[in-house]
Amino acid sequence: MTDPTAPFSRVKIRSGAVVFCGEDVALIRRDRPTGSHYTAPGGNVRPGEDIHEALHRELAEELQLDLDDATPPELCWIQDQMVVRPGPTPPPRKIHLIFRCHITPEVRQRLATVEYDNLPDGGHELGVIEWVNYRKTATLPLFPLIGPALTALPTPGSPTANAWLPPITDNNYIWK
């Protein structure tokens, strides 16, 4: 039997998306005392929730994007995460499913410009929605670590070379 107090004894699934508008992608920037970092919109799949339902919910919550206003989400990358992080609970292993979809400039104008993430103490952490040229994502502190794979795309709609991305570990990521 697995020890629930051991690191990585629980598995969480995160459904996220790279939302393209032309050559720009929507990223959420969070500014902290240790520096700014970026995340692709998305979040944990809730117990009993379908992965696509989670993606719809998260994009609606974070970007105010109705996926009916975008191209159908395409699964592009899968990334395994086992990173030690601060806090009283043991870190989970997390499987990131990263989809891609495209929107028009008209849809982009209607989307959120900020996002508030709920904190365990009941507060909120501000995230700023930034639109960044996808070719510049490899140089950003972007989590999950999809920047190099994203930058390698010849065009925003190009097929992905390999869905399996290198795992996120304590050797290539420091929790901030």
**Per-residue pLDDT tens over the stretch 30-54:** 998 888 999 999 999 999 999 999 9
Residue spans per domain, the chain = 11-169
Question: What confidence score (pLDDT) does residue 142 get?
Answer: 95
| Average per-residue pLDDT for the chain | 93
- Candidates 59, 53, 66; CA nearest to 28 is 59
Q: Where are the beta strands (DSSP E) in the chain?
A: 11-21, 24-32, 35-39, 42-44, 74-82, 93-102, 114-118, 124-133, 142-143, 168-169
**Does a cis peptide bond (omega within 30 degrees of 0) precede residue 144?**
yes
| pLDDT(127) > 80 | yes
pLDDT band for 1, please (50, 70, 90 cuts). low
What's the whole-number mean pLDDT along residues 109-116?
96
**Per-residue pLDDT tens over the stretch 158-167:** 999 899 999 9
Give one word for 99, left, alpha or beta, with left for phi > 0 and alpha for psi -120 to 50. beta
Assign a CATH topology to domain 11-169: Nucleoside Triphosphate Pyrophosphohydrolase (3.90.79)
| pLDDT(133) > 90 | yes
